[in-house]
Amino acid sequence: MTEVWVLRLFHRVSRDKRVSSHLALVARAFGARGMYYCGQRDPLIEETIEKVNSQWGGDFKIIYVDSYIKLIKKWKKEDGEVIHLTMYGIPVDKVIKTIRKSRKKKLVIVGGEKVPGIVYELANWNISITNQPHSEVAALAVFLHEFFEGKELYFEFKGAKLRIIPQERGKKVVELTN
Amino acid sequence: MTEVWVLRLFHRVSRDKRVSSHLALVARAFGARGMYYCGQRDPLIEETIEKVNSQWGGDFKIIYVDSYIKLIKKWKKEDGEVIHLTMYGIPVDKVIKTIRKSRKKKLVIVGGEKVPGIVYELANWNISITNQPHSEVAALAVFLHEFFEGKELYFEFKGAKLRIIPQERGKKVVELTN
């Protein structure tokens, strides 16, 4: 499976706490290996993910980076591809097949407010999920859903203690003993 | 086009401000007519949407309801269908074709914490977008993306003052004179 990571730009501890947590949880649930973030370092997000990993499995990483530009440049040097999600970009359905075809590792960038021009320049792809203002959480989910072609709906997570058995009504959760 | 509305349960002004705003913006961008919400009334969300409507067009509604149960029951009495997004439900790809086929109006429910059993009972469909914990914003986006089959990427909004012209690099926004 192609390796996918997310980069969340410009996290602010007070304002973005829940949105950045949602981004990390979506990245994990939809099959990314981990999420880098820059801006303010935030132990709370890291704890949220650790708890989810320990209950629901997998080895999703949260990694703080000082310089997002260094990370992007390093990624490209290592022959990875960089995808920037932005309402100004090319509609996802126009390019997703091409992006899927290359097995190079992917870095998917989601911005906060005001993403600098250099990100648009360095990205291999600037991609929109509608050209309307909405949510980086939604954009990331739809992008990964398209990228993994719905297979992410059934991804399994190693070492999970809990697993949901889908039901038409109500909740069924089983405890697993590994 | 089938009429779709969203119901956001149990909004809390301080904690959910941004998540509920993201839900409303996603609902609008992905083709819903409006969003009902219950819990605490929040003028800020209503203002956010008004501003977006006035710049980006359309007539998306935000409507506060006292009783979500009354709304759901009224909806069903009027021959509408109710879809509850929950990590415990049936995977979206198993049922989306059936849901799409019926032209009845749809109410898509997204919970906050701890959705009461009655919502699972009253819903025509309890649907999951992965069986992992993540984000109601992501669940709503992927559901609507599946429901509208990607056509939402190109929806146009009447009376918009601004329109984005998708670009491979950078930003292009045109001002429209209606």
Which of B92, B132, B23, B131 minimizes the C-alpha distance to A24? B132
How far is the first Cα of chain B from the last one, in angstroms, to the nearest whole number?
24
pLDDT score, position B178: 62
- Rounded to a whole number of angstroms, the distance from the CA of B43 to the nearest CA of chain A is 18
| Interval A71-85 mean pLDDT | 97
**Which two three-digit tokens encode residue A54?**
């320990």
Work out the mean pLDDT of chain A and round it to a whole number: 95
CA distances from B133 to A46, A153, A170 (A): 15, 12, 16
Of all residues in chain B, the one with the smallest CA distance to A51 is: B133
Q: What percent of chain A has pLDDT over 90?
A: 93
**Which two three-digit tokens encode residue A119?**
């990100």
Q: What's B132's DSSP letter?
A: S
| Interval A19-42 mean pLDDT | 96
Contacts B88 to A, Cβ<8 Å: 164, 166-167, 170-173
Mutation target vs A (from B135, B156, B172; most A CBs, 10 A cutoff): B135
pLDDT score, position B15: 86
pLDDT score, position A36: 97
Model confidence at A38, pLDDT cuts 50, 70, 90, reads very high
Which pairing describes strands A34-39 and A125-128: parallel, antiparallel, or unpaired?
unpaired
pLDDT tens string for chain B (178 positions)? 899 999 999 999 888 889 999 999 999 999 999 999 999 999 999 999 999 999 999 999 999 999 999 999 999 999 999 999 999 999 999 999 999 999 999 999 998 668 999 999 999 999 999 999 999 999 999 999 999 999 999 999 999 999 999 999 999 999 998 6
User: pLDDT tens digit string along A105-146?
Assistant: 999 999 866 899 999 999 999 999 999 999 999 999 999 999
- Rounded to a whole number of angstroms, the distance from the CA of B115 to the nearest CA of chain A is 10
Model confidence at A14, pLDDT cuts 50, 70, 90, reads confident
Contacts A163 to B, Cβ<8 Å: 131
Instruction: Determine the topology of domain A4-175 in CATH.
Output: Alpha/beta knot (3.40.1280)
Predicted ipTM > 0.90: yes
How far is the first Cα of chain A from the last one, in angstroms, to the nearest whole number?
24
Which of A42, A44, A35 minimizes the C-alpha distance to A11? A42
Instruction: Determine the topology of domain B4-153 in CATH.
Output: Alpha/beta knot (3.40.1280)
Q: Which residues are bridge partners to B127 per DSSP?
A: B90
User: pLDDT tens digit string along A158-177?
Assistant: 999 999 999 999 999 999 98
* CA atoms within 13 A of residue B15's CA, in its CB half-sphere: 7
Q: What percent of chain A has pLDDT over 70?
A: 98
pLDDT score, position A116: 95
User: pLDDT tens digit string along A146-155?
Assistant: 999 999 999 9
Residue of higher predicted confidence among B16 and A35: A35
For residue A67, pLDDT over 70 is answered with yes
For residue A55, pLDDT over 70 is answered with yes
